[in-house]
Amino acid sequence: MNVQTNLPIDMSKLEKLAEVSVKVGLDLAEGQDLIITAPLEAQPLTRLIARHAYRAGAGIVTTLFSDPEATLERFENGRDGSFDAAPAWLYEGMGKAYANGAARLAIVGEDPMLLSGQDADKVSRANRANSQAYKPAGEKISNFDINWNIISYPTLAWAKRVFPGDTEPMAVAKLAKAIFAASRVAESDPVAAWAAHNANLAARSAFLNGKRFAALHFTGPGTDLTVGLADEHEWHGGASPAKNGIVCNPNIPTEEVFTTPHRLRVEGHVSATKPLSHQGTLIDEIRVQFEKGKIIHAAASKGGDVLNRVLDTDEGARHLGEVALVPHSSPISQSGILFYNTLFDENASCHIALGQCYSKCFLNGASLSKDEIAAKGGNSSFIHIDWMIGSDKVDIDGIDANGDATPVMRGGEWAD
């Protein structure tokens, strides 16, 4: 098989990333089909993944590529009505494949600022239409019906955003090195390294599940926020079983343990500690106020108009679907790199997510209906957008049912 080699990327590590995505990220089953989505530039990685997937006994591997130039053509030349539409037929097909047992792998690497020069209203409308059309397929993922995984590829446009002062080859090489380090494929035995890391995350989750906190209290500069936790919530981190019985690592990299907030029990104010890159806009210095679980005021020094459009996506967009804990000493945080990519940036900091909750973050979540999840406080929305609120200046207490506080994090690090 021909795999492009004239790249400033360590191809042996790229192959390790492909192997990790199949063996650790997906734990692909014998005979299981696989659907991959990827930017066009990521062909060297998609071909290596196909190699390892078929070696693992995959059924059919199907890759769907996105082309940034074609995306720009739509925004620059498409008719206005097209921005209220989405390829529902494609998502219906993907949803049918997932219902029939296919696994899902997303490769990210798009230019985070691709749409920064486009009409913000068109971008917002297109995102809303896409989110609505994708929801039936997306719910198969958010509800963990199937094994799924997200990894990344160092595209040139992304690399130049992260390392603007470097030559193109040097920027790609630096981003590739950072991806490999964060994804643990720079280790001599990446599969073993992931097993040890997953064990550590499982121990953190078990500690928090044993405490059965009713809420978390975040305090720090610009932050005094109480996040009530959903009834019968459950903490997760690293590898976990999907409803099909396969244990997968949804995010590579990952440094978080996470659970579901109660959509009506969030009070106070919070300030973001890192910028949020969202659909071509950098939203910086986010500040929001919660009342009875709902964001009643939101502002940002940059991108505030985009933030408020996001919050108006649907009724659930102003409520939380996730809260996650990440130590300030995480490898991604210590790298000092702003990736402009949530897959990485969320693993540098404690964070919260607007929108859809994960059904798996409940006791016996696999058996719960949508109505039962809602009754326990789970949120529903077309969106799920993480943004960072942790730093070495943020403390977190766990609040029990009696109102007593237990230190969970101090100065951004685990308190125990």
Task: Supply the pLDDT for residue 365.
Answer: 86
Task: State residue 142's pLDDT score.
Answer: 84
**pLDDT higher than threshold 70 for residue 139:** yes
Residue 303 pLDDT > 80: yes
Residues of the chain with CATH 3.40.1830.10: 11-182
| Closest C-alpha to 180, from 53, 377, 363, 14 | 14
Domain 11-182 has CATH 1.20.140.10: no
Quote the pLDDT of residue 416. Answer: 84
- Assess whether pLDDT exceeds 50 at residue 2: no
Question: In this predicted model, which residue has the larger pLDDT, 227 or 7?
Answer: 227
CB 268 within 8 A of CB 290: yes
Model pTM above 0.85: yes
Q: What is the pLDDT at residue 277?
A: 87
> What average pLDDT does the segment 46-59 reach?
98
Work out the pLDDT band at 6, boundaries 50, 70, 90: low
Residue 267 binned pLDDT confidence (cut-offs 50, 70, 90): very high
Reported as a single tens digit per residue, the pLDDT across 143-197 is 889 999 999 999 999 999 999 999 999 999 999 999 999 999 999 999 999 999 9
pLDDT of the residue at 40: 96
pLDDT bucket at 366, cuts 50 / 70 / 90 = confident
Q: How far apart are CA 75 and CA 404, in angstroms?
A: 53
Residue 214 token pair: 């009713």
pLDDT single digits (tens) 367-413: 899 999 999 999 999 899 999 999 999 999 999 999 999 999 999 99
Question: What's the pLDDT at 7?
Answer: 72
> For a pLDDT cut of 70, what percent of the chain falls above it?
99
Q: What is the mean pLDDT of residues 251-280?
A: 94
Average pLDDT over all residues of the chain: 94
Per-residue pLDDT tens over the stretch 199-213:
999 999 999 999 999
Residues 10-20: tens digit of each pLDDT: 999 999 999 99
Share of the chain above pLDDT 90, in %: 87
Q: How far apart are CA 338 and CA 336, in angstroms?
A: 7
Which has the minimum average pLDDT: 117-121, 277-281, 404-408? Answer: 277-281
pLDDT value at residue 379: 97
**Average pLDDT of 299-315?**
93
**Cα–Cα dist 350/237, whole Å:** 13
